[in-house]
Amino acid sequence: MKYYVDVSGRFLGGWDQDPPESSIEVAVPPEYADQIWLSSGWGPSASKAAQEESKWRDQQMPIAQQNVTAIDYGAKNIPGSAEEWKSYWLGLLGWTSDNHDFPDSSKRPVAPS
């Protein structure tokens, strides 16, 4: 089976024969259905980026909660205040597909420093 994209790089599918007109053959199918082929290689996949950002958020939320608790108990070696960590946690809570900046990793909530 051979795999094809259209001229804009969007995956069209796989055919054994008679691929769509004006299609371009690619060596392998995409890792994700919304993968884009560019002249220099594959482009980013929106679904993969969203998956990675959700994973990052899920890793960060307990850290923020733990830091709030530690500061409340008197820990002195944690940067930022409990209020800053609470604000960060709320930012993480809103870092979902409902946020218009999601999944742009450059616009993630920033942890207190």
Share of the chain above pLDDT 70, in %: 91
Same domain as 22, residue 55? no
CA distances from 65 to 26, 43, 69, 97, 111 (A): 46, 35, 6, 22, 12
Per the rule left: phi > 0, alpha: psi between -120 and 50, beta: everything else, 45 is: beta
pLDDT in tens, 41-83: 555 667 878 989 999 999 999 999 999 999 999 999 999 999 9
Is the same domain home to 28 and 68? no
Q: Same domain, yes or no, for 57 and 29? A: no
pLDDT at 23: 87
The DSSP code sequence of 68-110 is HHHHHTT--SSSS-HHHHHHHHHHHHT-STTSTTTT-GGGS--
Total number of domains constituting the chain: 2
Note whether 34 and 80 are same-domain residues.
Answer: no
- The yes-or-no verdict on residue 20 having pLDDT over 90 is no
